[in-house]
């Protein structure tokens, strides 16, 4: 499988030069190092969003506190509580709209989708996930979005993690994929509803280090 990883619109010739793609399944790719040149800008934009909409641990519908801390930016944000999973225009904690999606996010998500063969990706939701060393995300499908024809773009920053990639049934066998900072996962088409999760986050000498993940969707 060969992807044109240079089909992006960036003016910076250093960008994405070293990127290669691994195919996870039909329509699903890991673009290795695709965001490597953008990490500092992305992290400072993440920090600016968090300053306006703090990270928090949602409750699952079953009442369990999620180990991953989350917030959102964009027109709609993903939320979870006793009433279920859904997208909403307002931060239920601060009772105001989610912060706008930074330009650096929009451009990267669009270009990564394009590189994986998905044209005109215009995300209206960006979920920001922060994983400390003990955080996990159990196997799940992303199915709360209205537009299942659009792909999802997922960007990894900070500590590496072991990503689980399964099939369309929860019981399908999973493979482990190590995601490093700068890796971008794009999936859609026949793989849009594939089960996936985060098995573990890898520690480092820096006891305060964490992993961040951005997932972009067309939610409505
Ligand atoms: C994560 N990602 O990488 C969790 N979902 O932290 C996801 O749950 C995910 O990476 C849909 C598409 C791509 C993803
Ligand atoms: Fe997911």
| pTM of structure | 0.92
Which residues have CB under 6 Å of ligand 1?
A: 129, 137, 142, 152, 154, 163, 185, 187, 196, 198, 213, 215
Burial environment of residue 160 by CB neighbours within 10 A (0 to 12, 13 to 18, 19 or more): middle
Which ligand 1 atom sits closest to the C-alpha of 213? 6
* Mean pLDDT score, 118-146: 97
- Which tokens in the block code for residue 131? 């994983």
Tell me the per-residue pLDDT of 175-204, one tens digit each, with 9 for 90 and over. 999 999 999 999 999 999 999 999 999 999
> Whole-number mean pLDDT of the chain?
93
CA of residue 67 to ligand 2 center, whole Å: 14
In contact, 177 and 165? CB cutoff 8 Å: yes
The 10 Å Cβ neighbour count of residue 173 is 8
Measure 141 CA to ligand 1 centroid, in angstroms.
9
Which ligand has the minimum distance to the alpha carbon of residue 140?
2
Ligand 2 center to 127 CA (angstroms): 10
């Amino acid at each position: 499988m060969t992807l044109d990883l240079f089909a992006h619109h960036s003016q910076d010739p250093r960008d994405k030069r070293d990127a290669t793609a691994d195919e996870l399944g039909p329509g699903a790719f890991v673009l290795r190092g695709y965001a490597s040149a953008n990490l500092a800008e992305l992290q400072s934009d993440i920090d600016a969003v968090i300053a306006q909409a703090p990270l928090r641990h949602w409750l699952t519908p079953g009442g369990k506190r999620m180990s991953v801390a989350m917030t959102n930016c964009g027109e709609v944000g993903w939320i979870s509580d006793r009433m279920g999973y859904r997208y909403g225009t307002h931060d239920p904690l601060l009772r105001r709209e989610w912060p706008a999606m930074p330009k650096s996010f929009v451009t990267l998500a669009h270009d990564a989708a394009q590189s994986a063969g998905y044209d005109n990706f215009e995300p209206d939701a960006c979920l920001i996930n922060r994983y400390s060393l003990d955080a996990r995300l159990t196997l799940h499908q992303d199915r709360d979005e209205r537009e299942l024809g659009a792909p999802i773009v997922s960007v990894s920053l900070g500590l590496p993690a072991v990503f689980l990639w399964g099939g369309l049934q929860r019981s399908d066998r999973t493979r482990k994929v190590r995601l490093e900072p700068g890796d971008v996962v794009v999936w859609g088409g026949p793989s849009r509803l594939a089960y996936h999760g985060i098995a573990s986050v890898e520690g480092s000498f820096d006891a305060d280090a964490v992993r961040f993940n951005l997932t972009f969707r067309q939610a409505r």
